[in-house]
Structure 1
Amino acid sequence: MYNSKGIQAYRKDSLKSDLASADPHRVIQLLMQGALEKLALGKGCIERSDWEGKSTSLTRAVEIINALKDALDRDVNPELVDNLDMLYEYMTMRITEASVSKDISIIDQVMGLLLQIKGAWDQITPADKQAAYQGQQEVQAGAV
């Protein structure tokens, strides 16, 4: 069959190239997808009693969610950003709980929440992205 290391290297290179050419919207999509993949991997590790893999995967999922949290722009919509901030904080707390208790139902819950956010994010149209980008430039120009 295929060499899994080769596939992993390809995926890593593919992701790097995707990130290098990505707009900020796409970067957030990739982060969300990465978090979902790490959560699914962590869930599988729990099911197989692979505790080292569980720890690595769930730790990485928390790191990605923290990166999403850090990327929030408080100037855009403070109320929405505060809600997302609290939701991301809740997710990291629940992932830690799932890791300690080895409870995959908690991981399913976090994945469901993240899928809802990603679904809304994926529905943002190119016109909406352009309008947001222009608004952001105007805010930055006004601050100078």
Structure 2
Amino acid sequence: MLNVQNQYLNTRVQTSSPAELTLMLYNGCILFIKQGITCMEKQDFAGKHTNFTKAQNIIEELQSTLKMEYEISHNLNSLYTFLQSKLFEANVKLNSESAQYCVTMFTELRDTWNEALKSLKNAEKVK
């Protein structure tokens, strides 16, 4: 079953647009942070570290895809750097409030990105 899921995910990644991949990264980041919070609550410190590290890796990937010739990219880069520090704080200092803050911020980013994708698709339909 796991192999089938991996094949599905692999196909989905390979056939998604860059904008859809960004949405998938946001979703993954939120998922890993939430899992890290759950692990923290269960005092599963290895699980917490693993999940927060996965989320941090996703943030690094998001940063690497920014096109820095745009002002919004500089703003997003600063926000991602700040959220990286909050996630580091959550991981090292066991600060669940910092982790929850990251969930809130990435949820807002994801929802905004998703709305932008919908608007773009609707605009393309009108053409």
TM-score tier, shorter chain, comes to 0.7 to 0.9
Return 5+ residue gaps in structure 2 as ranges: none
**Whole-angstrom distance in 2 between the partners of 1:99 and 1:11:** 29
**Whole-angstrom distance in 2 between the partners of 1:92 and 1:105:** 14
2:5 paired residue number: 11
2:44 paired residue number: 50
1:112 paired residue number: 104
The TM-score normalised by the length of structure 1 is: 0.78
Please report the RMSD computed on the Cα atoms of aligned residues, expressed in angstroms.
1.9
Map residues 79-118 of structure 1 onto 2, 5 A cutoff.
79-118=71-110
Among all aligned residue pairs of Structure 1 and Structure 2, give the percentage whose two residues are the same amino acid.
23
Map residues 1-80 of structure 1 onto 2, 5 A cutoff.
6=1, 8-75=2-69, 78-80=70-72
Q: Mark the structure with the bigger radius of gyration.
A: 1
Residue 16 of structure 2 aligns to a residue in which SS?
Answer: coil
Displaced runs of 4+ in structure 1, greater than 2 A? 8-14, 125-129
Change (3 A) 1:127 1:98: closer
Change (3 A) 1:127 1:39: closer
Aligned residues: 123
The TM-score normalised by the length of structure 2 is: 0.88
Please tell me whether the aligned partners of residues 87 and 99 of structure 2 are also in contact (alpha carbons under 8 angstroms).
yes
Give the structure, 1 or 2, with the largest relative contact order (CA under 8 Å, sep 6 or more).
2
